[in-house]
């Protein structure tokens, strides 16, 4: 499974990239607004940090303007994946960009039939939103399972990018179901490292080592 970080905080992205575990980045208008910086500037800096796909989202809702924004965004760097909403206009833009060789991340997916449409439109990534479905009493993980099954049935090349992930269990379940990518806030990625028995075991090892009075490195 690939790990993308869902943020526009460049310092966080740089720190996570140094772990060697980061495969890409997703952003959205809300995350860009939170950064307080110009979108093109932020996307360019992020693309220089990671060679993986960096999703930059259009903000227009009509087809013509959306396509112009998409062409501008993809010109920022070669690893930009243009992000479009799962609307009729968004799918039209997706088809055109895909035919031009541009990677497209279709976002705000809340049903498996929507995911099917995105794959038929040539999306490189589909972003089903797990947490937001859970918030309204639906089963977000079932959407991942259904989408993965449909894509396998028809050998679609579109990658399932599990989004709106709230906790490590979402990551585990998505991986077991066969999702290709999980995109998470920095805090959720760091939560994957943590387990109380790891901390307890390390404390015990260090306490025993301290009793020996030894040092690994020569003085």
Residues annotated as catalytic are 83
Q: How far apart are the C-alpha atoms of 3 and 75, rounded to whole Å?
A: 24
Q: What angle do CA 176, 18, 104 make, to 5 degrees?
A: 55
User: Comparing C-alpha atoms, which of 93, 91, 56, 58 is closest to residue 77?
Assistant: 56
Q: How far apart are the C-alpha atoms of 85 and 111, rounded to whole Å?
A: 13
Q: How far apart are the C-alpha atoms of 74 and 20, rounded to whole Å?
A: 25
CB distance 88 to 106 below 8 Å: no
Give me 119's structure tokens.
């794959």
Q: How far apart are the C-alpha atoms of 159 and 164, rounded to whole Å?
A: 16
Give the residue ranges of DSSP H helices in the chain: 10-17, 29-35, 39-49, 63-74, 88-99, 112-120, 130-135, 140-154, 168-177, 186-191, 196-212
Give me 7's structure tokens.
């943020």
């Amino acid at each position: 499974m690939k790990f993308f970080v869902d943020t526009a905080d460049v310092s966080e992205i740089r720190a996570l990239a140094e772990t060697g575990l980061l495969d890409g980045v997703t952003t959205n208008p809300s995350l860009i607004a939170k950064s307080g910086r110009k979108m093109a500037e932020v996307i360019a800096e992020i693309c220089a940090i990671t060679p993986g796909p960096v999703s930059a989202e259009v903000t227009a809702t009509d087809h013509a303007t959306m396509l112009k924004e998409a062409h501008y965004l993809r010109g920022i760097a070669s690893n930009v994946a243009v992000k479009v909403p799962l609307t009729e206009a968004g799918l039209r833009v997706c088809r055109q960009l895909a035919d031009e060789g541009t990677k497209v991340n279709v976002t705000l997916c809340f049903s498996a039939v929507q995911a099917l449409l995105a794959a038929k439109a040539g999306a490189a990534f589909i972003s089903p939103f797990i947490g937001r479905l859970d918030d309204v009493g639906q089963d977000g993980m079932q959407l991942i399972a259904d989408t993965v099954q449909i894509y396998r049935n028809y050998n679609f090349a579109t990658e399932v990018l599990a989004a709106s992930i709230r906790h490590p269990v979402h990551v585990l379940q998505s991986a077991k179901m066969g999702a290709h990518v999980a995109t998470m806030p920095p805090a959720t990625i760091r939560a994957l490292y943590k387990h109380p028995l790891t901390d307890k075991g390390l404390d015990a090892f260090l306490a025993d080592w301290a009793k020996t009075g030894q040092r690994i490195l020569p003085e």
